[in-house]
Amino acid sequence: MDETDICIVFGGNVRRIRRAKNMSQETLAELADVHRTYVSGIERGSGRNPTIRAVAKIAKALEVKPGELLD
């Protein structure tokens, strides 16, 4: 799996889990202490390459383990 693929997988998982929790991008961004446009970019897999810290913050905000976002 190359870098682009993992970003698309990560973004898709963030979107799927966020929607399953009926959470807006804005709410997720607030809980994860990131900007809403950052969440949007991650979900689209468009040029965002989140750090391991960002992955951890988003996972915590979604109440999942970081690995769930990468599978």
Would you state the pLDDT for residue 49?
A: 84
Per-residue model confidence (pLDDT) at position 46 = 78
Residue 69 has what pLDDT? 97
Tens-digit pLDDT profile for residues 13-50: 999 999 999 999 999 999 999 999 999 999 998 767 89
Say whether pLDDT at 1 is over 80. no
Q: Which domain holds residue 41?
A: 3-70
- Output the pLDDT for position 45: 86
Domains: count for the chain: 1
- Chain centre distance of CA 70: 9
For residue 19, what is the domain's CATH number?
1.10.260.40
CB 50 within 8 A of CB 42: yes
